[in-house]
Homo-oligomer: A and B are copies of this chain.
Amino acid sequence: MSLVVMGTVAFDAIETPFGKTDKIVGGAGTFAALSASFLYDQVKLVGVIGEDFGDDNLNIITSKGVNVEGIQIIEGGKSFFWAGKYHNDMNSRDTITTELNVLADFDPIIPESYQDCEFLLLGNATPQIQMTTLNRLKNKPKLVVLDTMNFWMDIAMDDLKAVLKHVDVLTINDGEARQLSGEYSLVKAAATILEMGPKYLIIKKGEHGALLFGEGQIFSAPALPLAEVFDPTGAGDAFAGGFIGYLAKVKTINFTNMKNAVIYGSALASFCVEKFGTERLQTLTQDEIEARLKAFVALSKFDI
């Protein structure tokens, strides 16, 4: 049994108030798979890269035990590249360059060895690619988590709504929840979205934490208050990876485990933003994760 992550594997060039990088490894699939690998040992990644990606960069992913058989390497092709600059408040950013490159014709291939998929994370991509990935699995996974963004709501809402019908958990941010539902109140937005297919909805609110809706219940998870957010790139993907990685580990799907999964996702995301790109996830240890989980407990526990 395994956890399959479909998502971009890419190069990013990032500028924040703290500094600036050349091309470094990024992509939703990368962040999510690395994050999940700390909680579950059968993580398999589906994606596409160009010949320019290089073994050293692929090693960043495989060194954590992530299976990359499902990553297609396109001969003579160039990897997806995104360059962006974060503003001083770190909550908004400008895209400087988006080069789709090999992503433009991405046709997700599921290797036979991935057909034991029990947990599936459909990372942020066109809803069409997300649907194709799902369709190419011979058995319906036990749990399907989908991440998306406002861009797909703008240009492919019908496709998005079609794939949402097959999804168990949707993760989006507060602005996206409002856009998808047409409701300003997040409680009303959640009620509307939970009619669209997902059984659970996670609304990510950045520095304000996350809300989990499902089974007629609501859970409010705090974000760790950080003195400095060094680079927010990949935080949402690390969250999704930690979330599904925890569920793959405990296997049982219920609201209690979902709540813990949100905390695990939040913990992984809180590490991700401490350094540029995947740098912090590369050095992260299990002891550090344990300590961070305790910090989340201390942060939110009260006794009434």
Instruction: Please measure, in the bound complex, the distance between the C-alpha atom of A304 and the C-alpha atom of B223, giving whole angstroms.
Output: 16
Q: Who on chain B is nearest to A222 by CB?
A: B220
Identify which of A24-32, A71-79, A110-118, A205-213 touches chain B. A205-213
Pair A296/B304 contact, Cβ less than 8 Å: yes
What is the CB-to-nearest-CB distance from A214 to chain B, in angstroms, rounded to a whole number?
13
**Most chain B CB within a 10 A radius of its CB, from A187, A222, A299:** A222
Query: Bound state CA distance, A300 and B300, in angstroms?
Result: 7
Tell me the residues in window 248-299 of chain A with beta carbons closer than 8 Å to chain B beta carbons.
256, 259-260, 262-263, 293, 296-299
- Using an 8 Å CB-CB cutoff, how does the interface string of A224-268 with B read, 1 for contact, 0 for none? 011111000000000000000000000000001001101100000
Residue numbers in B under 8 Å from A227 (CB-CB): 185, 187-188
A137 CB–B CB distance under 8 Å: no
Cβ of A220 and Cβ of B209 under 8 Å apart?
A: yes
Does A88 sit at the interface, judged by CB under 8 A? Answer: yes
* A185 neighbours in B (Cβ, 8 Å): 226-229
Are B88's CB and A184's CB within 8 A? yes
A168 to B263 alpha-carbon distance, docked (Å): 32
Q: Which residue of B lies closest to A290 (CB)?
A: B304
Complex interface: chain B residues within 8 A of A184 (CB): 88-89
Are the CB atoms of B259 and A302 closer together than 8 Å?
yes
The reply on A303 being an interface residue by CB < 8 A is: yes
A217 / chain B contacts, CB cutoff of 8 Å:
298
In the complex, which residues of chain B have a beta carbon less than 8 angstroms from the beta carbon of A211?
Answer: 225
A109 within 8 A of B: no
A272 to chain B, nearest CB (A): 17
Chain A 87-99 near chain B by CB (<8 Å), digits 1 or 0:
0110000000000
> CB of A219 within 8 A of chain B?
yes
Which residue of B186, B219, B256, B302 is within 8 Å of A219 (Cβ)?
B302
Check A149 for interface membership: any CB of B closer than 8 A: no
Distance (Å) between the CB of A29 and the closest chain B CB? 27
Chain A, range 11-28, C-beta contacts under 8 Å to B: none
Closest to A302 in B: B259
A223 to B211, CA, bound (A): 11
Is A218 an interface residue, CB under 8 A from the partner?
yes
Kindly provide the distance from the CB of A110 to the nearest chain B CB, expressed in whole angstroms: 33
A157 to chain B, nearest CB (A): 22
- Besides A208-B208, A220-B222, 5 more A-B contacts (Cβ < 8 Å) are A185-B226, A205-B208, A209-B220, A219-B299, A220-B300
